[in-house]
Homo-oligomer: A and B are copies of this chain.
Amino acid sequence: MDISKDLIRGHTDTIILNILSQGDSYGYQVSKSIRSLSDNQYSLNEATLYTAFRRLEKIGEIESYWGDETQGARRKYYKITSSGRQHLEAALNEWQFAKNIISHLISGEVTEGDNL
């Protein structure tokens, strides 16, 4: 992984919700999707991922069910709820907004007026 975890912090839930908004999935697959969506630049620690699942389920943004795999290991599937979709949309809007503010904060010029 190349990019600092703290830059991703605050996006974890949104990342998961984005992936689940495109279809039900389970931990291992979500993990691989994250690696793939980031062009192998980022991978979420397993513990972090499952912690996020539990957090999102607790607040009703996702639901889970055990898949009935005839072969392969058992899988717990996660499904986004309508509340989760709302949250996802809100987060995307916030990001568009925050991106500019962050850019100002880390590279903007401090004008004299700021001292008044």
Contact size class for A? 35 or more
CB within 8 A of A37: which of B8, B38, B105?
B105
A47 interface hit (Cβ, 8 Å): no
Chain B residues positioned under 8 Å from A10 (CB to CB): 4-9
Copies of the chain in the assembly: 2
Binding site for B on A (CB under 8 A): 2-11, 14-15, 18-19, 22-23, 29, 32-34, 36-39, 41-42, 91-92, 94-95, 97-99, 101-111, 113-115
A and B contact pairs by CB, cutoff 8 A, 18 listed: A4-B98, A6-B9, A6-B10, A7-B94, A9-B10, A14-B106, A18-B106, A23-B110, A32-B114, A33-B110, A36-B114, A37-B105, A37-B110, A38-B104, A42-B101, A91-B106, A92-B106, A95-B102
